[in-house]
Structure 1
Amino acid sequence: MKTTLALAALLATAAAPAFAQAVTDPAKAEAGSYAIEPEHTRVRFDVTHFGFTKYDGEFRKVSGTLVLDPAHPDASKVDITIATDSVAVPNAKLKEELEGAQWLDAAKFPQITFKSTKVAKTGADTADVTGDFTLHGVTKPLVLHVKFNAAGTNPVNKHYTSGFEARGQIMRTEFGVKTYAPMISDAVAIDIDAAFEKAK
């Protein structure tokens, strides 16, 4: 036990100098082209289930790119692709149902996408990112409220990484996903934590 704790402390100490270089001011992040780091990127959603509880799930396969311009935030761009059949919920039968024709119809619509069209700074480390959101074959505008977390060299893999969190909401019936609405809420909250690694 003591050996394990000592090793953990040693690793933490070794990583500290690299991690200390991380910046929380987006103006100090490195400009350039980035790609999603999928292992630490999460796209979650939740709905109200018959008015009794909230029920959530997530999508496990996410890819995409980011062009980051800290000096001119409005020139930044993000493009995200989600594999529809990567939906994950605690119940295997529900996963199968969600991927079926009544809900997401993953066979017909294998991708969910978001392509930014406008970035508007709203605070020192926040922005509203408007984009074209495509779900179930329907494309509509979506605004994501985005917060910059930090940027710096990942002490483990040594990749320069920028991290963000984003929140948004869609009305699923507007995209043709109408099953059990409004008993299962039309409004779907979207919660994203995204890590992007800079291209070398």
Structure 2
Amino acid sequence: MKFRPAALAAALAFVAAPALAEPTTYQIDPAHTDVLASWSHFGFSRPTVRFGDVEGSVTYDPQNPAASRVEVTIPLSGLQTQSAEFNEHLADAQWFDMAQHPTATFRSTSVEAAGENRLSVTGDLTVRGETRPVTLDVTVNRLAEHPMRKKPAAGFDASVTLKRSDFGLGAYAPAVSDEVQIAITVEAVAE
């Protein structure tokens, strides 16, 4: 029996296609993931708050982005500012009310391709008991074997602008800007 190279390649592609089309679920690495928020403070400065200890998973299918999903929990105890006093200030009832609302969450509702290595990820963000839809602009940084863990890994950057007032955090607006710029970087590894 004689095999034609084109027929063999087509057969191998058909057999391999289901494996390539499978979405991969990655667990977020909190040591290499950051969520940063910045805003205008009376026009004098642009303070930044870092939300660390991010937990969750990213399921990503590069062949079918619509099959992808994101689930993230941000323990607000991981909030860090430039001073311990400001950390305590943001933890109180006027701001994040961490005693009543110790976490923020994001659950995707749709993922769409938005160009080469770009995604539009829409989901429900819950902060301080308020849930609002938000859309993240996402860049797929890299999909490869992690050099240290020897497992599939993924890296993403994302950004979004939110209104503090949508989440019950609107004190002093508009002098302190209602709009907050969020910058996210995620490293995640398949388990």
Class of the TM-score when normalised by the shorter of the 2 chains:
0.7 to 0.9
Q: Would you say 1:93 and 2:85 are equivalent positions?
A: yes
Root-mean-square deviation (Å): 1.5
Amino acid at match of 2:121: V
SS at match of 1:124: coil
2:184 to 167, 192, 199: 192
Q: Aligned match of 2:107 in 98, 107, 115?
A: 115
Write out per-residue CA displacement over residues 12-63 of structure 1, whole angstroms, 9 at most, x where no aligned residue.
xxxxxxxxxxxxxxxx898311110111001100010111121111111100
Distance 1:138 1:31 in 2: 31
2:117 is the counterpart of 1:125: yes
Could you tell me which runs of 5 or more consecutive residues in structure 1 were left unpaired when the two chains were aligned. 1-27
Distance 1:158 1:38 in 2: 18
Show structure 1 runs of 4+ deviating over 3 A.
Answer: 28-31
Give the 3-state SS of the residue equivalent to 1:48 in structure 2: coil
Among 61, 64, 73, the alignment partner of 2:65 is: 73
Structure 2 CA distance for partners of 1:94 and 1:29, relative to 1, 3 Å: farther
Q: 2:186 & 2:21 partners in 1: Cα distance?
A: 15
1:68 positional shift: 1.3
Q: Which has the higher contact order (CA 8 A, sep 6+)?
A: 1
Contact 1:162/1:196 (CA < 8 Å) preserved in 2?
A: yes
> Is it true that 1:144 corresponds to 2:136 in the alignment?
yes
Superposition pairs for residues 5-84 of structure 1, below 5 Å?
31-84=23-76
> What pairs with 1:169-180 in structure 2 (closer than 5 Å)?
169-180=161-172
Distance 1:58 1:173, change over 3 A: same
Deviation at 1:157, TM superposition (A): 2.7
Q: Distance in 2 between matches of 1:159 and 1:56?
A: 33
Instruction: Give the percent of matched residue pairs that are identical in Structure 1 and Structure 2.
Output: 38
